[in-house]
Chain A
């Protein structure tokens, strides 16, 4: 399509409403009454100009603010629905039947919630699609408006068309002063006093400030897009590692995700509670039941593995010692290790071999629950043989025999063979927590429980996220853009000597109250008539 040549000589792109240079209305010249629509400076926006083929229509759809707002509102409502019942990631980890959980806990509503997939709403395809559409909308809308706006603000002339000035919201006329030169100098002085950038061109003035604020929305949109791209990059392999590890006190493990490069030794776990006697907190501690946790801490040593030889034990060099606390992760080489959980676990169980009738002890022994021995020699020909060990005991009904759920000593049970000089053949006993069974029922000896030692086991999360810097930069750019666009505003004042009058017009993209105050101050100092808000007048009429 051909360009439009304005009477001022400027070549405008097809679809322009107000000449980019002098502001003369190109399309509705006849309509003298109405105020000009100054949005995007009356530039030719692609979405307002073409609407024939599929691409145009798609472009126009996404460039619409209305569509953008709808996308935001739908996302907002969907997000809210996701908080009615807990998301799947927040229900207890022990739950195996998720569907039943929602039904049991929340009734019919919970069942519907689960069936519609709201329990994993934020990772559902349609929610992610929604975010993607917002991204597209932001991009298209910004390009559609930003580029023409830039053109127009760059090309604007100091002298504007009469029609443009008259039809600004703020407009006023005064008598032309006698000493023009002095008057114009004073105008420039007064406007500079208000920190306007003033341009002067034979009898015309354009004073402008805060133009950079016009780019705020585009800057923040760019920031948002970088942010969204950053979050999407997480699905690229290697960009994001998130692993849970459990480490017992005294244990050394390879840190998951580091490819056996780093090892961690858990030296000691600390749980501290506040002193209930501490005066300032006493009352509150009493109210919540006498105990408030002060600190969770895993004292660890970080090791780096040397040259790796296949089959050989890694050669570990100490890197550093560090107490990992909540809010204070251990950091190294792009990785962070967080304190997230802990458990107390039985580590050792002590027993006594007794004569069943007299309860007289024959000897004592201790079983290390992680590495139990096969045989415990109690001296004088007494010994106990560990025939079977079930760290996490349960009775498997299908197989009809004892079994273990996990390799963790949560509910240890043992089958011992007790051998004494009196019973050289041995007697079988089944020992579990609060269980003591005999195979034959006529044993002479028994094993009595004699105490337990516990160890802490700490739950750590290893995290490495290469997308964080991108997300962070996106966030900063976004914030800069938002502040730029909302804390400043673009104000322009035009002055023109026309026949025997002085015309003053003004426009701002926001905060009309501010520009009115500035104008009334300037006009009273220059002894000009008040500039009138033609919008107010129109409304009153």
Chain B
């Protein structure tokens, strides 16, 4: 069952990939994207997205059967599910607006998230007592669905920014847009670097004193740029470390994570550099002509609509259900645990967004920037709060 499950996920991944390409072709079709009728290519892209989603749903169900619990209990499972919910969010929003350009951006970002998820340990894990509750499936899935829909607002916001920002000369805006694209490339870089060193079976072992003040060994799967604080390299002849991670970094295996983070940024920089060299202009400027026919007003409305649909779902899943479960498991419905706080921050952020939308000044570009920022907060809560800030939710 577990094997069928991973094959289905793999299949979904490939189908999403093809769907992206089909949507990209649909974009070149001149008749399309007036928001009225679907073009032939657009329809195929949409059908493929749904087929991919069903395949991933198959992965989800079979993994559930194999593991005996809802497969949303660790970072691999949760992040994969988040990617799946983003696709679902896309399917819903596309059904309303039929905008192919949304697929061109939403599908690869979902792909990136699913690929990112696959870098975490993938075995089926048993549930610790704190997770043995029906609320696991209810709270986590609803929260992920909300985040998935909110992620679509980011996609639309990004499209809006690429389509509207003046690329004739460099400015603060073009700079930030490049930065957003660079972070996406860093995620890709992380995946590529992980896979490459994984294939090489690269390992460097350090001896160090870990966060529990005990002597331990730490195995790096990537060359050490940042070594453990006062660590001793046990593997001979390997590269590094160039410097040591600061002592105050807490959390399980913090130096290793810092090292991985540096590798992601570096590889992203290389990818970005290569692309710039090849394109001879800003990435935003290269993408812009692709979007010259789109109705930016409509894209703005889509990003707002995605927030309007996603916000209540997120609130229900990440705050209301979370509070009910916390009351049952931890004796209090609210405890200012970092994950809880960041869920509240996400909630407050989108609440502020919805209030700002009441004034016309905040429609369009400003609103698009906010959607980008909202996604940054969601990803921060998913990645940094789990990996860096230690708390009750650090299951992975």
Q: Are B125 and A72 in contact (CB under 8 A)?
A: no
- CB of B359 within 8 A of chain A? yes
Cβ of B333 within 8 Å of any chain A Cβ, yes or no, is: yes
Interchain CB contact (< 8 A) of B305 among A72, A284, A511: A511
Asked if B333 and A326 make an inter-chain contact with CB atoms under 8 angstroms apart, the answer reads no
Q: Chain B residues with Cβ under 8 A from A278's Cβ?
A: 126
| Smallest beta-carbon distance A343→chain B, Å | 16
Asked if B180 is an interface residue, CB under 8 A from chain A, the answer is no
Find chain B residues with CB under 8 A from A487 CB: 308-309, 312
Interface string of A47-81 (1 = CB under 8 A from B): 00000000000000000010011001101100110
Q: Are B329 and A82 in contact (CB under 8 A)?
A: no
A65 to B360, CA, bound (A): 13
A313 contacts the other chain (CB 8 A): no
Of B312, B316, B390, chain A has the most CB atoms within 10 Å of the CB of B312
The digit string for A476-518, where 1 denotes a CB below 8 A from any CB of B, is 0011001100110000000000000000000000111100000
Determine if B338 is an interface residue (Cβ-Cβ < 8 Å): yes
Cα-based distance from A283 to B328 in the complex (angstroms): 30
From B248, B323, B328, B355, A105 is in contact (CB under 8 Å) with: B248
In the assembled complex, which residues on chain B have CB atoms less than 8 Å from the CB atom of A68? Answer: 355
Residues A461 and B331 in contact in the complex (CB < 8 Å), given A326-B132, A475-B320: yes
Q: Is B351 part of the binding interface, using a Cβ–Cβ cutoff of 8 Å?
A: yes
In the complex, chain A residues whose CB is within 8 Å of the CB of B330: 338
On whether the beta carbons of B125 and A39 are closer than 8 Å, the reply is no
Contact B312 A483 (CB under 8 A): yes
Q: Is the beta-carbon distance between B320 and A280 smaller than 8 angstroms?
A: no
**A281 touching B126, Cβ below 8 Å:** yes
Confirm or deny: A295 has a beta carbon within 8 angstroms of a beta carbon on chain B. Answer: yes
- Asked whether B61 is an interface residue with its Cβ less than 8 Å from the other chain, the reply is no
- In the assembled complex, how far is the CB of residue B207 from the closest CB belonging to chain A, in whole angstroms? 17
Smallest Cβ distance from A520 to chain B, in angstroms? 9
Establish whether residues B344 and A486, one from each chain, have CB atoms under 8 Å apart when the complex forms: no
In the complex, the chain B residue whose C-beta lies closest to that of A72 is B352
Contact with A along B361-396 (1 / 0, CB 8 A): 000000000000000000000000100011100000
B124 shortest CB reach to chain A, Å: 5
A323 to chain B, nearest CB (A): 12
Q: Does B345 have its Cβ within 8 Å of any Cβ on chain A?
A: yes
The reply to whether A292 and B305 form a contact with Cβ atoms under 8 Å apart is no
Interface check A294, CB cutoff 8 A: yes
> Restricting to B275-333, which residues have a CB under 8 Å from any CB of A?
297-298, 301, 304-305, 308-309, 311-312, 315-316, 320, 323, 327-333
Residue of A nearest to B319 (CB): A475
A76 touches B355 (CB 8 A): no
Also in contact, A293 and B132, with CB within 8 A (given A69-B352, A280-B66): no
User: Are the C-beta atoms of A76 and B311 separated by less than 8 Å?
Assistant: no
- The answer to whether A287 has its CB under 8 Å from any CB of chain B is yes
Check if B311 sits within 8 Å of A482, measured CB to CB.
yes
Stretch touching chain B among A83-91, A174-182, A372-380, A413-421 = A83-91
A110–B331 Cα distance when bound, in Å, is 29
Min distance, Cβ A36 to any Cβ of chain B, angstroms: 13
Query: Is B97 interfacial (CB 8 A cutoff)?
Result: yes
Q: How far is A482 from B308 in the complex, measured between Cα atoms in Å?
A: 9
Q: Is the CB of B130 within 8 A of A76?
A: no
Chain A contributes a number of interface residues (CB within 8 A of B) equal to 60
Q: 0/1 per residue, B207-251, Cβ < 8 Å to A? A: 000000000000000000000000000000000000000001010
Assess the B389–A65 pair: CB atoms within 8 A.
Answer: no
**Residue ID in chain A nearest B128 by CB atoms:** A293
Cα(A87)–Cα(B355), bound, Å: 31
**Chain B contacts with A in 333-350, Cβ cutoff 8 A:** 333, 335-338, 341-342, 344-345, 348-349
Whether the pair B328, A327 counts as a contact (CB closer than 8 A) is yes
B315 to chain A: which residues have CB within 8 Å? 478-479, 482
Q: Min CB distance, B381 to chain A, in Å?
A: 10
Interface of B is mostly: helix
**Bound CA–CA A6/B18 (angstroms):** 63
Q: Is B128 a contact partner of A292 (Cβ separation < 8 A)?
A: yes
CB of B345 within 8 A of CB of A479, answer no
Q: Is the CB of A281 within 8 A of B97?
A: no
Chain B nearest CB from A130 CB (Å) reads 11
Contact A284:B121 (CB < 8 A) given known A86-B390, A486-B308, A486-B309 = yes
Complex alpha-carbon distance, A304 and B155, angstroms: 60
Once bound together, how far apart are the Cα atoms of A482 and B310, in whole Å? 11
Q: Is the CB of A281 within 8 A of B125?
A: yes
B67 and A106 contact, CB distance less than 8 A: no
Taking the closest CB of chain B, its distance from the CB of A464, in whole angstroms, is 11
Query: Is A430 among interface residues, defined by CB-CB distance under 8 A?
Result: no
Min CB distance, A111 to chain B, in Å? 12
Do B352 and A76 touch across chains, with their CB atoms under 8 A apart? yes
Tell me, yes or no, whether A325 is within 8 Å of chain B by CB. Answer: yes
Residue of B nearest to A288 (CB): B125
A73, A87, A105, A511: the one contacting B301 at CB < 8 Å is A511
- How many whole Å from A71's CB to the nearest CB in chain B? 9
Residue A122 lies at the interface, judged by CB distance under 8 Å to chain B: yes
CB distance from B342 to the nearest CB of A (A): 7
Q: A296: CB under 8 A from chain B? A: yes
In the assembled complex, B68 has its CB within 8 A of some CB on chain A: yes
Residues of A within 8 A of B341 (CB): 79-80, 82-83
Chain A nearest Cβ from B345, distance in angstroms? 5
Within 8 A of B (CB), among A318-363: 325-329, 336, 338, 340
Could you tell me which residues of chain A, from 110 to 169, have a CB within 8 Å of some CB in chain B?
Answer: 110, 122
Docked complex Cα distance between A275 and B124 (Å): 14
A422, CB-defined interface residue at 8 Å? no
* Most A-side CB within 10 Å, residue of B126, B309, B338: B126
Q: A83-B341, A482-B315, A486-B308 are in contact. Are A72 and B333 (CB under 8 A)?
A: no
- Residues in A with CB closer than 8 Å to B348 are 72-73, 75-76, 79
CB neighbors of B among A284-330 (8 A): 284-285, 287, 292-296, 325-329
Name which residue of chain A comes closest to B127, CB basis.
Answer: A294
Which 4 residue pairs spanning A and B have beta carbons closest together? Answer: A326-B129, A284-B125, A284-B123, A283-B123
- Chain A contact residues, CB within 8 Å of chain B: 39, 65, 68-69, 72-73, 75-76, 79-80, 82-83, 86-87, 89-90, 105-107, 109-110, 122, 242, 274, 278, 280-281, 283-285, 287, 292-296, 325-329, 336, 338, 340, 461, 463, 468, 471, 475, 478-479, 482-483, 486-487, 510-513, 536
List 11 additional A-B contacts (Cβ < 8 Å) besides A281-B123, A479-B315, A513-B301.
A65-B355, A69-B356, A72-B355, A73-B352, A80-B342, A80-B345, A86-B391, A281-B125, A327-B329, A468-B327, A479-B316
Q: Can you spell out 8 A-B residue pairs with CB atoms less than 8 angstroms apart?
A: A280-B67, A325-B132, A327-B133, A471-B333, A482-B311, A486-B312, A511-B305, A513-B301
